[in-house]
Chain A
């Protein structure tokens, strides 16, 4: 199929293929969910936990392949248990790096074992690690849709308390919010979102949908609601554009998606401050509190 200048016709041709239909459906749902949940991941500095959850999911996906069920089911099971475990064991997200890393490494090892026990195609491991959105089944799309609806409903319900707790834990607690419960809800949301996002970008590239779009949005918007919308737009654009380009090129979709978000991140990080009318980051906060560091620094 050749690329033409008329994008609408290109898109029509693309969507005649069922695998492209499924890819666009699942990709859109995942981008929507990852963009929203990702904002909270960035705000709460929990990106390492999100990364670890995807690795825990790797063991689940490999195990699912081994017993002959859809990898997304194994992902959902393992990440949910992992997310619960993380939030129950350590109440403060910031100082859990070592524990999370220890579990992460063990889970990757377990995944490797499952893959080696599975005597079928070796490509399964590859697609779990790096995503295989073009090979998604209609059942997977259905599972993704259900997970997305659950996540969107849950976020709508906990939006304000979770935002408050993420910004100002101590005051939120004094106002009667239960930090522990909110922490568990948050990790379950991340677990669900990670599980379905792995289908698109894979275990190893989860950052590109769960963290980078939200990091871009956070630099552009000071109001959380706007940042969430921007984050969704970035992940949607990256996913759609990635799928579109990958249809014509023999290279993986996840490569295009990661590249698009990376380029956008660089642009916002380095070009935007130059053209921005208001320099948002001219004072480092830590320096302003307490000891002010001379301006020539």
Chain B
């Protein structure tokens, strides 16, 4: 066993990837690879095409050109090895359905027909809820949860099919700093304990910085990837974007990227 785990295989690879639609390119020239067990942040301004990367990986959208591969094959719809938490995931305020049921549906909701005994599925759902520390939320209705609790349920929903990669689209956006930090720690715990890869779209990189293996910076139609200390430098981003970019660090190590958000030249 020790021999096989010493090399972490690649989960996602992209070469010269161009994303968008015919006639409208969102970003281009992206080459990157993510390995098993890596926590990767995808950051950049609104509308830069962060969610587009997820749609490519989910097989909901095709690349304009270039290649993208996940688990060493082209993306396909309904891949059970991907756990997905979409952006601005809202539950209707009238939806009086218990959390366990939603997680259970993420386990078996794609199957046709009836299942009289749902014991196996319910057990899997409860295990997923326990993995995110939300077992006590199982019987609660979805419309009674706080934003932080809801994100845990969504994470359990993504984990229930025991995926090899997690795609989390702005899970921190509706949370205050403390809840955001808690959720990041939770995701980091899941990544390390289950050896899954997690791609996490975020607006603010700072709560994530202590845990990140890689960062993908998407802005102005271009993509920079690598380790945070290499990517998040004034020189690297200035060279990539052809505008003066400054990466500033405060005494606690928090990062601020200045210059790019003002230049939405061709948007």
Contact = CB atoms under 8 A, between A and B. Distances in A.
Interface string A178-198: 000000000000000000000
A160 B111 contact: yes
Interface string B143-175: 111110010000001100000000000000010
A280 B92 contact: no
Contacts of B124: none
A105 to B, nearest CB: 27
A285 B96 contact: no
B102 A167 contact: yes
A173 B60 contact: yes
The CB with the most chain B CB atoms within 10 A, among A45, A157, A160, is that of A160
Contacts of B133: none
Contacts of B78: 174-177
Interface stretch (A25-33, A61-69, A123-131, A286-294): A286-294
Interface stretch (A215-223, A236-244, A257-265): A215-223
A165 B106 CA distance: 10
Given A160-B105, A174-B84, A286-B93, A222 B110 contact: no
B73 interface: no
A281 B101 contact: no
A163 B105 CA distance: 8
B106 A170 contact: no
Contacts of B60: 173-174
Contacts of B85: 171
Contacts of B94: 218
Interface string B85-107: 11001111111111001100110
A246 interface: no
Interface of A: 43, 45, 156-161, 163-165, 167-168, 170-177, 218-219, 221-224, 280-286, 288-290, 292
A218 B143 CA distance: 12
A168 B105 contact: yes
Contacts of A280: 96, 141, 143-144
Contact of B110 (A45, A157, A161): A161
A36 to B, nearest CB: 13
B253 to A, nearest CB: 27
24 contacts: A43-B95, A156-B114, A157-B112, A160-B113, A160-B114, A163-B109, A167-B97, A167-B105, A168-B89, A168-B102, A168-B106, A170-B84, A170-B89, A171-B86, A171-B158, A172-B110, A175-B80, A175-B109, A219-B96, A222-B98, A224-B97, A285-B91, A285-B92, A285-B95
Contact of A168 (B115, B157, B174): B157
A288 B102 contact: no
A222 B106 contact: no
Given A171-B106, A174-B84, A284-B93, 13 more contacts: A160-B109, A160-B110, A160-B112, A160-B115, A161-B109, A174-B77, A175-B78, A175-B109, A175-B110, A177-B78, A222-B97, A223-B101, A283-B146
A12 B109 CA distance: 45
B150 A157 contact: no
A157 B91 CA distance: 25
Contact of A222 (B84, B91, B101): B101
B66 interface: no
B48 interface: no
A45 B144 contact: no
A280 B93 CA distance: 11
A297 to B, nearest CB: 15
A282 B78 CA distance: 37
A288 B110 contact: no
7 smallest CB-CB distances across A and B, nearest first, come from A176-B78, A164-B109, A170-B86, A285-B93, A222-B98, A285-B143, A164-B105
Interface in B115-152: 115, 139, 141-147, 150
B102 A285 contact: no
B110 A164 contact: yes
A173 B54 CA distance: 13
B158 to A, nearest CB: 8
Contacts of A171: 84-86, 106, 157-158
A10 B86 CA distance: 58
B58 interface: yes
Contacts of B141: 222, 280
B224 interface: no
B82 interface: yes
Contacts of B139: 222
A286 B174 CA distance: 11
A142 to B, nearest CB: 26
A160 B143 contact: no
B79 to A, nearest CB: 8
Contacts of A168: 89, 102, 105-106, 157
Nearest to B167: A174
B14 interface: no
B92 A45 contact: yes
